[in-house]
Structure 1
Amino acid sequence: MTDKLAVIAIGGNSLIADKQHQSIPDQYQAAKDTCEHIADMIEQGWTVAIGHGNGPQVGFVLRRSEIAHRVEGLHEVPLDVCGADTQGATGYSLQQNLYNEFVKRGINKPVATIVTQTEVDRADPAFKNPTKPIGGFMDADEAQSRRENDSWDVVEDAGRGWRRVVPSPLPKRVVEEPAIHNLMEAGMCVITVGGGGIPVVADDKGQLEGIAAVIDKDYASALLASSLGAELLIISTAVEKVALSFGKPEQRWLDTMTVAEAKGYLAEGTHFAKGSMAPKIQACINFLEQGGKRAIITNPANISRALRGETGTSITN
């Protein structure tokens, strides 16, 4: 495997620019813009695996499924299958845009999407405390029916109605990692661990089964990067750099951090939001503690500049 091996985890802003641009053509254009920046990196000699979020896309599939079930009586789509659907659709958009960008630049590099399963532990504490809301809103009667008939965990959401919640367990293993490794060894660009991967659990014989859960895509990308022996993890998000006390008068942008500093900032509990920046920082720590050399957090447009040390937040040991 090449020394210049990187895993890039791209966030929702790389696929949906804003609430006014959520259509499939809009998502395709957002993916095109992001792929141009990734192609810059590949042109510099990096071999890249690309992970991506899928939260809004899964929400759209679930909502269509719920409406079709109520109106037409069609079968509903299980959450793990929603993950597979969106991995394929988003992967198609990314791989076609990368292919076209490579053709334009004269880069001879195949691109492939792998529908990826990520194994989680059935005993993970997250299964006892589901917190991730999915799907549309329900009234109290429907929520009670779902709880009793479908074994859903449901919660009331700030007076807006009831929603289903599912666990968010930690990833243990990227099941298709050997295939990803072989494809990258052959010089391919691979799109993988979409939405953190489809959550699966293993029985006592090692056979896998899909489970209703959501895996953090940054944790899964960091795990994949460690498994591949990648040198670099890039987490592409909505901001150019990480900030301490983000959005507060004392906000301070960070150019660099050590793992020890990152752990200290996390422990303080006031700098990084739990649902956004905190898991990204923790994913970088996980990667570096497992042998990675460097992690970068920046936005898509600044990937090349961040690689040169001109912007972004770089985290090292």
Structure 2
Amino acid sequence: MTKPTLVVALGGNALLRRGEPLEADVQRINIASAVKAIAALTADWNVVLVHGNGPQVGLLALQNSDYKQVKPYPLDILVAETQGMIGYMLQQELQNALPEISIVTMLTQVEVNSKDPAFLMPTKYIGPVYDKVEADVLSIEKGWEFKNDGDYIRRVVPSPKPLNIIESASIKQLISHGSLVICAGGGGIPVVRKDKKLLGVEAVIDKDLSAAFLAEQINADALLILTDADAVYINWGTDKQMALSNAQPEQLEKMEFDAGSMGPKINAACEFVNATKGKVGIGCLADGSQILKGLKGTLITEKPVAKKNNIKL
């Protein structure tokens, strides 16, 4: 029997946790743990993996800007670099864990609108964490913008919405041949069309929005968003804070979530469920195989599947 298709969106912070040094050895250790959870999913699903790159692309941008002898590489090229770097590490670990499955990493371009208002209002967190003094200095020296990310301060860049995944036909073909495809890493390499040609632009697309868009394009049955939070919470940071086990798009769309973290995940989940009637799980990596069963994390569906912790409006 053919397995259903699952798109898994793996957060960049699952590969490099907050406050950890931006080193290859640290990422390899985290990736080895992530692969155990992803490999377990292949027992029931055809898995397509999309990964984040926030810490990694931010580090490359920092290294890039400090090399004064040459003009800095733009963000689209840095995103391509992270697709190769992170994809390589994920592909190697997955191949070691799943020697019977073909693992393929694909450089993936994602088309965006050059007039997307996101270019005027940066919200996407990238790079390491800073204290206020460091952020103020970098803001003056490099012209970067910063925002609070929980207890931290991080750089933010434009994050336009995905319009088209250029390599979607090739991804479908690989899936049909039984490959586990790692694609749209870091949300995809951001490109625009000008005079019928593709050109890279200065942005980082949110990987959750790209994962949901990809899931629609390849007719996936479910979307799993793995992050460093164990569930979606309402009334976060108050004495009424509560984790949701199940929610519906029409409920979530009436609520506000941080535009740089949980907001895009909720938007991606709602778009996928509304478009496909499929289901979306959001939760932490360790709970991966249980989230879509409604046992852990938050399950977002067209209709309620459980009474516990449903949103009451």
In which range does the TM-score fall when normalised by the shorter chain?
A: 0.7 to 0.9
d(CA) in 2 for partners of 1:2, 1:122: 40
Q: CA deviation at 1:180?
A: 0.6
Question: For residue 243 of structure 1, what is the amino acid of its counterpart?
Answer: Y
d(CA) in 2 for partners of 1:304, 1:15: 18
d(CA) in 2 for partners of 1:194, 1:99: 18
CA deviation map 1:102-157 (0-9, x unaligned): 13xxxx111011111100011212233345576785474x55xxxxxxxxx75587
**Does structure 1 residue 172 correspond to structure 2 residue 157?**
no
Aligned pair in 2 of structure 1 residues 165, 42: CA closer, same or farther (>3 Å)? closer
8 Å CA contact 2:123–2:156 kept in 1: the answer is yes
d(CA) in 2 for partners of 1:18, 1:157: 15
d(CA) in 2 for partners of 1:94, 1:129: 32
d(CA) in 2 for partners of 1:133, 1:291: 29
Match for residue 10 of structure 2? 10
d(CA) in 1 for partners of 2:28, 2:146: 34
d(CA) in 2 for partners of 1:192, 1:200: 15
**Does structure 1 residue 97 correspond to structure 2 residue 93?**
yes
**Does structure 1 residue 250 correspond to structure 2 residue 232?**
no
Q: Which one of 117, 124, 127 corresponds to residue 116 of structure 2?
A: 124
8 Å CA contact 2:224–2:292 kept in 1: the answer is no
**Does structure 1 residue 224 correspond to structure 2 residue 209?**
no
**Does structure 1 residue 85 correspond to structure 2 residue 81?**
yes
8 Å CA contact 1:288–1:295 kept in 2: the answer is yes
3-state DSSP of counterpart to 1:230? coil
d(CA) in 2 for partners of 1:175, 1:254: 35
Match for residue 65 of structure 1? 64
**Does structure 1 residue 284 correspond to structure 2 residue 269?**
yes
Aligned pair in 2 of structure 1 residues 133, 262: CA closer, same or farther (>3 Å)? closer
Return the TM-score normalized by structure 1. 0.84
Aligned pair in 2 of structure 1 residues 14, 155: CA closer, same or farther (>3 Å)? closer
Aligned pair in 2 of structure 1 residues 91, 156: CA closer, same or farther (>3 Å)? closer
Once the two structures are aligned, what percentage of the paired residues are identical?
A: 38
In terms of fraction of residues, the more helix-rich structure is 1
d(CA) in 1 for partners of 2:299, 2:158: 31
3-state DSSP of counterpart to 1:218? helix
Q: CA deviation at 1:177?
A: 0.6
Aligned pair in 2 of structure 1 residues 121, 35: CA closer, same or farther (>3 Å)? same
8 Å CA contact 2:213–2:272 kept in 1: the answer is yes
Match for residue 53 of structure 1? 52
Question: For residue 200 of structure 2, what is the amino acid of its counterpart?
Answer: G
3-state DSSP of counterpart to 2:237? coil
3-state DSSP of counterpart to 2:67? helix
Aligned pair in 2 of structure 1 residues 212, 38: CA closer, same or farther (>3 Å)? same
State the structure with more CA Rg.
1
Within 5 Å, which residues of 2 pair with 1:177-256? 177-205=168-196, 207-256=197-246
Question: For residue 186 of structure 2, what is the amino acid of its counterpart?
Answer: G
Question: For residue 284 of structure 2, what is the amino acid of its counterpart?
Answer: N
3-state DSSP of counterpart to 1:290? helix
Aligned pair in 2 of structure 1 residues 100, 164: CA closer, same or farther (>3 Å)? closer
Match for residue 308 of structure 2? none
Aligned pair in 2 of structure 1 residues 139, 117: CA closer, same or farther (>3 Å)? closer
8 Å CA contact 2:216–2:275 kept in 1: the answer is yes
8 Å CA contact 1:21–1:27 kept in 2: the answer is no
Aligned pair in 2 of structure 1 residues 132, 288: CA closer, same or farther (>3 Å)? closer
